[in-house]
Structures are given as structure tokens and as C-alpha cells.
Amino acid sequence: MDVFGKMVLALFLPALLVLLFTRITYNRYVALILAIALMAASVYAGYTSPSIIFVIDAFSLTVGFWLASKMKKNKGTL
């Protein structure tokens, strides 16, 4: 996969993972930890070759956690 494809996936996938795991576990902190664990596994496997991917992953995880917090405030409970 080219660098642009990796950057697009890094922009959206971690945030979506946090939101998905939040819906499954009903806890945004556990969801964030699970998403970070998956990102760490992909780093260990060598799928994130340019270092800018780390920054984009961190930004996307932050946005996903923020959206999960907003989702919880809007609905009261998940």
C-alpha cells in the first residue's frame, strides 16, 4: 500500500475503532486502551513505516475519544 493510502487509513480507522469499542464495552477508557493495543500491534508488525503515521494515529485516537465522550454526554448512557 502506498503512503497516501496508509495516511488516509490512519486518519479514520483509529477513531472508528474507539467508537466501535465504546459501543461494545460501554466504557470509553477501555475502548481507548483496546484501540491503542491494536495500534501497538500494527507498529510491532511493521505496518507503519513513515513516522508521520504515528502522529496521524495519535490524532485520530484523540478525535475518536472526544467523539465517544460527546456521544456519551448526548445520550446519557450508551
Q: What is the pLDDT of residues 54-69, one digit of tens each?
A: 889 899 999 999 999 8
Is residue 26 left, alpha or beta, with left meaning phi > 0 and alpha meaning psi from -120 to 50?
left
The structure's pTM equals 0.82
Question: Would the pLDDT of 76 be above 60?
Answer: no
Nearest to 36 by CA among 44, 70, 7: 44
Are the beta carbons of 16 and 66 closer than 8 angstroms? no
